[in-house]
A and B are shown apart, each in its own frame.
Chain A
Amino acid sequence: MSDEPTRMMTSPAGPEKTLLATPQADPLRTQMGATTVCPVCHTTTPVLENYCCECGFLLSATVSESLEVAPEETPPAELVELETGRRHRLRVGENTVGRQGTDVLLLDATVSRTHARIRVENGQVFVEDLGSTNGTKVGDLRLSPNQPVAATGGTLLRFGNVQLRLEVRGGEGQGVGLEGAEKTVAITSPSSEATLLAPAAQPAEAAPPVAWLRKLEGPGNELPVPAGVSRIGRRPTNELVVTGDAYVSGSHAEIRVENGEAWLTDVGSTNGTFVNGTRLMPNQPQLLENGDEVKIGQTSYRFEWAEPSQPAEAAEDTPEPQEAQPNEGKGIGIEEAGDAAEESR
């Protein structure tokens, strides 16, 4: 909505308020429809905006020479709240989980103030309960306090009554040691539960496609769709990166493949996501049928399920031996996880 009745600039308060000048429209950049490129993040922004629409940089300011721009990083692992879909980023090293002041903040009465600790190192994730009142579960295993347990991508974690799915990103070839991952077994778990704590984190990139967005026309590229949740957009942090189509938003849509169904969700893109010509409401998942026409930005695709034999073949691309496919949507698929455990032993 461009015609907002009220628009107030609030500069940071303080006595020296004038130091931070309220941005003025630059007379040189007042043409309608003209754009400018943000010197910080290089996103194209309409000149009528005072701030970069992507990174918020005050466009009338000059860039200091010492400007260091960190790329928006993909976290090595994330926790996704099942109920709300909220994503919590995990960092390499220690991440505390709890209700107050923790790295992962879960505002639920059943979560203790400092409930648990998650350690991320070398592509592996360890979960440790810190003596919480209502306990921590990894898969079906209830943790004993202060005993770290390994968890893999797709595993359901439970802190008090809050359930989250662990998503582990690997690959990208930078020191994420997956070699050791297959040896990862639950430290305290009896063998029956070890099957649930499936070994080996699965890098999202290596997951073989279970479906395709085959390009029909437009500037974009073809997209192989893996199982689980994949984000679609122009930004390189998406699992499915669209290149060459300027009408695709940085974060455009999300496709979720689970239980043999594929659901496409527009996540609030500027130019919309269309299925068979109908624009999707933002954040309303749409079930895809084989052969549906999907339009993202200026590019049209046909949605196609992959041949059933394909996952096995595609697995050859994976550097890791014989990894089971994480069934992220279901959390932990017992059969798949069981297979995976057997294979790795």
Chain B
Amino acid sequence: MEDRTQIIGASPTQMGTMPTQMGMAQTQMGTALQTLEVECMPGNRYALAGDISREHALVVLKATGQQLGRRAPINVCLCIDRSGSMEGPPLEYVKMACDYVVDMLEPNDILSIVTFEEHVDVLMPARRVVNKALIKEHIHRIEPGNTTNLYDGLVAAFMQIASVLPQTQGYVTRVLLLTDGDPTVGIKDYSTIVQQVAEQRAKGITVTALGFGPEYNEELLAGIAKRSGGNYYYIQRPDLIPEVFRRELETVMSVVARNVQVRLQLSRWVHVRQVYGLQPSFGPRTIEVTVPDIERGTSRTVLAELEFERHPAGVFRVAKAVVTYDDLLANRPGQASADCVFEFTKDAALLAQGVNPIVRNEIEIAQASQNLQRTIMGMRTQQLTAMGALSELQRTRTILMQTGQIEKAQQLDAAMQSLQQGSGDVEKTLMGTIVDIEQGKR
């Protein structure tokens, strides 16, 4: 592969930073530098023996911040709503955003463009970005249509990405779905659309959902992003569309690990009750979750709630976390594992001393997400007044600040401001915070 030689070619220039990295890696069982570092920590040093007790296990995946060689190439599809409501500035800014994307791509990247209204058009089938001027010419011919056939648009986008999948191993795949409204024709129901997204996810195709303006269905778009491991953006004004496209594309371009699977192999007397924000598949003595793509220098967390059933006393590994992924830096499959160890004791007084503050923090962040969902529900059912919602959000904001989630706390600030101004986009903003928390972005 071309990229491999480029990585090797680039590494001598990186040697200055290599020794420290290697030294660190060697202390970790003498293995080479890893794209992902995996840690698995117990929520408490101690757990209660001989009883039914619940504790947490936290898996932390840290992507290296090293800039080794070139970024992984991307296979991206722009899936654009051109329904009647997009007429005017929104569509003009969308064209500008698409131009941006075209400019940012390199010859190795693959782009496709699908637009949808009542009908679906493949403006550009999946291919390498060679003649940028010609592609832009096509983009500028996008005209507003009538209704919103989101499902068929999405399926067409999936087909474009999939059409080149066999030739694009080692690529990051992403559909950027932009819409400003509810689906109005074709398949409209939430579960069918999200199910379709989940199926594509299994094939390695991710959707980032970009909701524009006040009319789109945030529940649907957040659901799409969550199920496919993509991102969710709420775009308030049309002039922000190009900026959001640029941000998302930069995110996609910095992915270093994709197809990340975390499997917890459980010891006897250990059960998993839930994994916060993710849908695990439960097997006998094992659970598995798919984690969203991981960008350079970022980390993801997977927090599981465990239950121990009358566990004997002593030091036990309750779970082994095995992480497999496509290592896009080394262009090969990657694997790492870590053990989660508890000391089981009959002395309940010890429990108070053994709390792991990092895991404690994560539990609180998960709690914040649940608070937000409750607040949204309360507002929808009007059981919560604006004042009530405001104080709830303030409370959740405090949790986010205390747990170091500054960016998410700022999102809540924006939501509270909207609430005070009586604008209706509070839920659209909060959805983004929930998606970020649930996907384990820290």
Which chain A positions have C-beta within 8 A of B339? 8-10, 50-51
Q: How far is the CA of A55 from the CA of B356 in the complex (A)?
A: 23
Judge whether A10 and B314 touch: CB under 8 Å.
no
Q: Closest A-chain residue to B354, C-beta based?
A: A14
A251 contacts partner chain B, Cβ-Cβ < 8 Å: yes
Contact with A along B245-279 (1 / 0, CB 8 A): 00000000000000000000001111101100001
Closest A residue by C-beta to B335: A4
Q: How far is the CA of A262 from the CA of B50 in the complex (A)?
A: 39
- Does the CB pair B313–A58 fall under 8 Å? no
**Is residue B343 contacting chain A, with contact meaning CB distance below 8 A?**
yes
| Interface residue SS majority, chain B | strand
Q: Is A268 an interface residue (CB 8 A)?
A: yes
* Given A41-B268, A283-B283, A10 contacting B338 (CB threshold 8 A): yes
**Known A5-B32, A5-B335, A68-B50; contact A10-B41, beta-carbon cutoff 8 A:** yes
Q: Is A205 engaged at the interface, CB distance under 8 Å to the other chain?
A: no
Query: How far apart sit A51 and B358, CA to CA, in the bound complex (Å)?
Result: 25
Q: B28 near A8 (CB under 8 angstroms)?
A: yes
B-contact 0/1 string along A229-267, CB 8 Å cutoff: 000000000000000000000010000000000000001
Of B169-177, B292-300, B315-323, B401-409, the segment with at least 4 beta carbons within 8 Å of chain A is B315-323
Q: Which residues of A sit under 8 angstroms from B316, Cβ to Cβ?
A: 51, 55-58
User: Contact between A6 and B31 (Cβ–Cβ < 8 Å)?
Assistant: yes
Question: Residue-by-residue, is A42-73 near B (CB-CB < 8 Å gives 1, otherwise 0)?
Answer: 00000000111011111001011011111011
How many residues in B have their beta carbons less than 8 Å from beta carbons of A? Answer: 59
Residues of A within 8 A of B31 (CB): 5-7
Partner of A6, one of B309, B319, B337, B354: B337
Question: Shortest Cβ distance from A13 into chain B, in angstroms?
Answer: 5
- Please name all residues of chain B whose beta carbon is closer than 8 Å to the beta carbon of A54 when the two chains form the complex: 267-268
Least CB distance from B18 to A in Å reads 17
Tell me if B340 counts as interface (CB < 8 A to partner A).
yes
Is B334 an interface residue when CB atoms closer than 8 A count as contact? yes
Residue contact A4 to B312, C-beta cutoff 8 Å: no
Task: Indicate whether A105 reaches chain B with its CB closer than 8 angstroms.
Answer: yes
Q: Determine whether the beta carbon of A64 is less than 8 Å from that of B309.
A: no
* B5 at interface, CB cutoff 8 A: no
Residue of B nearest to A60 (CB): B315
Query: Which of chain A's residues have a CB closer than 8 A to the CB of B44?
Result: 12
Residues in B neighbouring A9, C-beta threshold 8 A: 338-339, 341
Q: A12-B356, A13-B45, A55-B316 are in contact. Are A267 and B34 (CB under 8 A)?
A: no
Which residues from B are CB-within-8-Å of A55? 267-269, 312, 316
For residue B39, CB closer than 8 A to chain A, the reply is yes
Interface check B40, CB cutoff 8 A: yes
Across the interface, name the chain A residue whose C-beta is closest to B312.
A69
> Which has the most chain A C-beta neighbours within 10 Å: B268, B318, B322?
B268
A89 in contact (CB, < 8 A): yes
Q: Are B34 and A5 in contact (CB under 8 A)?
A: yes
- Chain B residues with CB under 8 Å of A8's CB are 28-29, 37-39, 336-339
Q: How far is the CB of A210 from chain B (nearest CB, A)?
A: 23
B333 to chain A, nearest CB (A): 10
Asked if A6 and B336 sit within 8 Å, CB to CB, the answer is: yes
Nearest CB of A to B226, in Å: 12
With A55-B268, A56-B268, A268-B283 known to touch, is A40 a contact of B41 (CB < 8 Å)? no
Within 8 A of B (CB), among A1-57: 1, 4-14, 20, 40-41, 50-52, 54-57
The B43-87 residues at the A interface (CB cut-off 8 A) are: 44-46, 50
B309 partner, pick from A12, A40, A73, A267, beta carbons under 8 A: A73
25 contacts between A and B (CB under 8 A): A1-B335, A5-B32, A6-B335, A6-B336, A7-B338, A10-B40, A10-B339, A12-B44, A12-B341, A12-B342, A12-B354, A13-B357, A14-B45, A14-B353, A41-B268, A51-B339, A56-B319, A58-B317, A58-B341, A64-B314, A68-B312, A70-B269, A72-B309, A87-B282, A100-B370
A84 within 8 A of B: yes
A40 nearest CB neighbor, chain B only: B312
- Complex contact A6–B34 (CB within 8 A): yes
Inter-chain contact B269/A67, CB cutoff 8 Å: no
Looking at B50, B269, B334, the one whose CB has the most chain A CB atoms below 10 A away is B269
**B270 contact set on A, CB distance < 8 A:** 56
Inter-subunit contact B314/A5 (CB<8 Å): no
Instruction: Please indicate the chain A residues that have their CB under 8 angstroms from the CB of B309 in the complex.
Output: 70, 72-73
Inter-subunit contact A10/B340 (CB<8 Å): yes
Q: Which residue of chain B lies nearest to A21 when distances are taken between CB atoms in the complex?
A: B315
Q: How far is the CA of A57 from the CA of B339 in the complex (A)?
A: 12
A56 and B47 alpha carbons, distance in the complex (Å): 14
Nearest B residue to A86, CB-CB = B282
Per the bound structure, the CA–CA distance linking A69 and B344 in Å amounts to 12
B34 and chain A: residue at smallest CB distance: A6
Q: How far is the CA of A4 from the CA of B34 in the complex (A)?
A: 11
Instruction: Report whether B314 and A63 are in contact in the complex, using a CB–CB cutoff of 8 Å.
Output: yes
- A40 and B314 in contact (CB under 8 A), knowing A55-B269, A107-B274? yes
Minimum CB distance partner of A62 in chain B: B314
Contacts of B317 in A (CB 8 A): 50-51, 56, 58
Of B32, B44, B341, B353, most A-chain CB atoms within 10 Å: B341
Residues of chain A within 8 A (CB-CB) of B29 are 6-8
> A190 on the interface (CB 8 Å rule)?
no
Note all chain B residues with C-beta closer than 8 A to A70: 50, 269, 309-312
When the two chains form their complex, are residues B356 and A13 in contact, meaning their CB atoms are under 8 A apart? yes
Chain A contacts for B358, CB-based, 8 A: 13
B342 — which chain A residues lie within 8 A by C-beta?
12
Which chain A residue has the least Cβ–Cβ distance from B282? A86
A308 sits at the interface (CB 8 A): no
Q: B407 CB to closest chain A CB, in angstroms?
A: 25
Find A89's partner among B271, B281, B310, B338 (CB 8 Å cutoff).
Answer: B271
A175 in the interface (beta carbon within 8 A): no
Inter-chain CA distance A107–B272, complex, in Å, is 13
B200 to chain A, nearest CB (A): 19
* Shortest distance from the beta carbon of B266 to any chain A beta carbon, whole Å: 9
User: Smallest distance from the beta carbon of A186 to chain B beta carbons, Å?
Assistant: 30
What 10 pairs between A and B have smallest CB-CB spacing? A56-B267, A12-B45, A6-B336, A56-B317, A51-B317, A86-B282, A70-B310, A58-B315, A56-B316, A55-B268
Find out whether the CB atom of B315 lies under 8 angstroms from the CB atom of A85.
no
Q: Say yes or no for B42: interface residue by CB 8 A criterion.
A: yes
12 extra interchain contacts, Cβ-Cβ under 8 A, other than A55-B269, A68-B50, A73-B309?
Answer: A6-B29, A8-B28, A14-B356, A56-B319, A57-B315, A58-B315, A68-B313, A70-B50, A70-B269, A100-B370, A267-B283, A268-B286
Given A10-B340, A13-B41, A57-B314, also A84-B281 (CB < 8 A)? yes
What per-residue 1/0 map shows which CB atoms of A75-92 lie under 8 Å from chain B? 000000000111101000
A45 CB to nearest chain B CB (Å): 12
Q: How far is the CB of A208 from chain B (nearest CB, A)?
A: 26
- Bound-state CA distance A54–B28 (Å) is 25
Set of chain B residues within 8 Å of A89, measured between Cβ atoms: 271
> Does B422 interact with chain A (Cβ within 8 Å)?
no
Whether B166 is near chain A, meaning CB under 8 Å from some CB there, is no
Tell me, yes or no, whether B285 is within 8 Å of chain A by CB: yes
Contact A105 B335 (CB under 8 A): no
